[in-house]
Structure 1
Amino acid sequence: MTASRRLLPVVRGLFLTATTAFVLLPLAVVVYSSFRGATVSGEGEGFTLRWFREALSYEPFTVGLLYSTQVALLATLISLAVGTSAAYAIARLHFPGRELLRSLFVMPLSLPRVVAGFSLFVLYASLFPAAYGTVGGIAFAHCLLLMPFVVAIAGAALAGLDPALEEAARDLGASPLAAFVRVTLPQVRPALLAAGVFAFLTS
């Protein structure tokens, strides 16, 4: 194994750690300020839980927080499952329309959020009124926005893996699913964790 191949997992791990920290940094600043009770001018009253108590005692906030958490969890799980499968198919399989599939998953990034939201509103109002405003309906809409990120991150991780390892597992009698779970999945787990965190925060 060459030195560059040995350093690749380290570089990939550092990159994913830096990406996750970059995404979480604004949230960390808000949480820190909430404990400090800081105002816009930067003046605080020391360590306090006052704002958490006030927020949790405000019923509209708790209802919205629970609803948003349910939507984010469901959207993240669906995006990870579908996005990882799509990234694996694009990276490992050769079939007609593979590039078209890749373009379809990236396409939502070029669509303005307002246009996507209005289009989904019209879709639900005209064809699926029962899904309008539900956790599942909102989660599905979020999946369209989260999927490009999951496919890109998982695809980048899969592109850096040697497919010969998975092929060797199949030669030794493992099924395609078992080879993926036991050989490929442990190697891309950090990337999927980063994609899951990014998807959850975005949702």
Structure 2
Amino acid sequence: MKFEHVLLGLLARRPYSGYDLHKWLESDGQFVWAKAHHSQIYRKLAQMETEGWVTHEVDSREGRPDAKVYRLTPAGRDVLLAWVRSPYEPSSRPHETDFTARLSVAAPLDKDVAIALLRTEIAHRRAQIAKNRGRDRSLHYEDPLPGLDQDIDRQIHESLHVLGAGAMDHWVAWLEEVLGRLTRGTDRND
């Protein structure tokens, strides 16, 4: 996923100034994309305008600098939909930005794509759980570093496994809940 996809997804909802995009990314957007510096946003908007994906109008503001307010063009919509509908390959870790950003854009634009995305993510995570949940997690020591406390090492190792397993279970439950909301009344097989 590229940063322009996030910006195009936001502009699909409404026109934004660069400043407003930055504010959104710093607050609500923290769960969709890593922090972005305002200069990165303005550079990407200029590039996207050169590509014909966005256009801007100047919003005159009394007592403050004028603002460029950006709007998605039909070409930008096509680029956004092409990304939303492109193949999705789950990462090894849950909660990755490619998934969350893609889901946040896909669901309102193409519900069927969002449903397929969720099913792919759920299947991948269930396979990870099946492969890893019951595996032997014993730690084996051979000439350990002097001072290494093996009991503490085992305790921490097991605690981290419990934390990770709980987080994965929570993630899968959330995915299934969202899938249920999107398919309720639309898919007789669920």
For the aligned pair, the TM-score class normalised by the smaller chain equals: under 0.3
TM-score, with structure 2 as normaliser: 0.24
The structure whose Rg is larger is: 2
Pick 1 or 2: higher relative contact order, CA cutoff 8 A, min separation 6: 1
More strand by share: 2
More helix by share: 1
